[in-house]
Amino acid sequence: MLGDLTLFKMMGSRMEYLGERQKLLSENIANADTPYYRPSDLKPMDFQKILRGDQRIKMAVTDQAHQAGLLVQTNFKAEKAAFGKSYETSPNGNQVVLEEQMMKVADLQASYQLATNLYTKNVSMLRMALGNNR
């Protein structure tokens, strides 16, 4: 029911994005000593693109000869750092900078906390509007 509201869809997408980014950052940290390992990260989310996707009207198929509309999936794409484009490269060719990864993890934690707080506040506002103050 809440998942049908645009705001909650966007927050769900944001939480999914943050979960995928956490997985990639933890892989980067785990491979900090792997020779020739290049760290990867996700592209930042484009909320304008998400909003435009939700505003499209889905066409109903009323005849066999009609073509159904296409659904656009928003899968997150990981990008590997270009080899040699890192600030530091260890003697074994590894490009993971732990300080950089830990800063990204701290930013991720703050973003996750913000998203969960927004979700909680919006649910409580909906409960208040419906007269359910539990």
Both tokens of 51, joined, read 């909003």
pLDDT over 70 (residue 117): yes
pLDDT band with cut points at 50, 70 and 90 for residue 111: very high
Query: If you average pLDDT over every residue of the chain, what do you get?
Result: 79
pLDDT over 90 (residue 66): no
pLDDT over 70 (residue 74): no
pLDDT over 50 (residue 72): no
Q: How far is CA 27 from CA 15, 74, 113, 132, in A?
A: 19, 22, 21, 43
Mapping DSSP onto H, E and C, the string for 72-90 reads CCCCCCEEECCCCCCCCCC
**Total domains, the chain:** 1
Domain that holds residue 88: 2-130
pLDDT over 50 (residue 56): no
Which of 28-42, 45-59, 84-98, 107-121 is least confident? 45-59
Nearest-angstrom CA–CA distance, 77 and 79: 6
Q: What is the pTM assigned to this prediction? A: 0.68
pLDDT band with cut points at 50, 70 and 90 for residue 68: low
pLDDT over 70 (residue 51): no
pLDDT over 60 (residue 55): no
More confident call, 1 vs 26: 26
